[in-house]
Amino acid sequence: MTRLLILASLLFSGVALAQETPVGVWKTIDDATKKEKSLVRITESNGVITGRIEKLLDPTSKQDAVCDKCSDERKNQPILGMTIIRNVKKSPHEKDLWESGDILDPNNGQVYRVLLKPIEGGKKLEVRGYIGIPLLGRTQIWIRAE
């Protein structure tokens, strides 16, 4: 019985730790309207985090919309399926922080530096986009969808 309890506690602690990461599917929320905008799937490969738009949730969004305001290789590419988070790595200084990459806002084509921080036990993700220093930016809260 004791072994079973120890095994169960190890399994549950592993699940809890796994949730304290940006990896997963996230529901993005519009800052101004507070409406759901999209689902973004964040993955990790070799210690590098990327995120792409998996589904557009706003019924007013055109499913075949392209990023006509983008100025890099994503210009005129479909927003659906687009990689919007690139090159993010776990911070060597702060336990629950991912940094050093960038995030694209397909609405205006701007690319910002990004900080990702799981909050509320990994149920939500604090996404801070900024130019220059993190103080000069804005934060969105994304909700774990999966």
Report CA dihedral (128, 47, 37, 31) to the nearest 10 degrees: -10
pLDDT given at position 135? 87
Q: Quick one: average pLDDT of 48-71?
A: 95
Q: Which domains does the chain have, with CATH numbers?
A: 2-144 (2.40.128.520)
3-state secondary structure of 109: coil
- In this prediction, residue 11 has a pLDDT band, given cuts at 50, 70 and 90, of very low
| Paired tokens of 53 | 């738009």
| Paired tokens of 131 | 């130019």
Single-letter amino acid code for the residue at 9? S
Which is more confident, 2 or 137? 137
Question: Which residues have CB under 8 Å from 134's CB, separation 6+?
Answer: 113, 115, 128
Which is more confident, 32 or 84? 84
Q: What is the C-alpha separation between 122 and 30, in angstroms, rounded?
A: 20
pTM recorded for the entire structure: 0.85
For residue 131, the tally of other CB atoms under 10 A from its CB is 11
Assess whether pLDDT exceeds 80 at residue 86.
yes
- In this prediction, residue 8 has a pLDDT band, given cuts at 50, 70 and 90, of very low
* DSSP, res 20: S
